[in-house]
Structure 1
């Protein structure tokens, strides 16, 4: 078994999305990392410990305290789904995207 496969009786792969605040530029970062863990709670514990360390390496940067976990259903590899989150909303698609994802204040690629 190579390192990308989920073991048959052990830990699974989890992605965890953590949110950070960069006071220097007045922006938030959403960062998704991968973890092998026995359950979502363990994956979040691992990710939050790393999030504090990550934030500590950057000036004016802090972990905002939000971690969301997703157990990967697909094997880790090209095209694998690594995160999924459902949110209930009555908004139409364009309004939903404008509200949560495409507000015009995103920094994609370069800051």
Structure 2
């Protein structure tokens, strides 16, 4: 099977020391799958499970076909929390979907 990384976005509930309105998490996990679409589907299923009472999965994912294989699934390799006053759609447009990306469209099965 091929290996992929998938980035998913989440919004956390506000925290007491937070300076901006929203707290977002960008999280990248690794997957073995037969296609990039399957990797994204697996990552989104895991993202729904990862989301808890104090956060929500925003339903936004991006995948990348790795050049070297990995031997495990659902391994978190990167996470970044960022505060922003932007609402989810504007946040995604500002940081992840600016219109200048070179990417294909994910086809849900």
TM-score (norm 2): 0.56
1:24 aligns with 2:14: yes
**1:65: which partner in 2?**
59
Equivalences, count: 69
TM-score (norm 1): 0.55
Taking the aligned partners of 1:14 and 1:52, their CA distance within structure 2 comes to: 19
Gaps of 5+ in 2: 16-21, 72-76, 79-93, 96-109
The structure that is strand-richer by fraction is: 2
Gaps of 5+ in 1: 1-10, 84-98, 101-111
1:43 aligns with 2:33: no
Say which SS state the counterpart of residue 53 (structure 2) adopts.
coil
Using CA pairs below 8 Å that are at least 6 residues apart, which structure has the higher relative contact order? Answer: 2
CA RMSD of aligned residues (A): 2.4
**2:5: which partner in 1?**
15
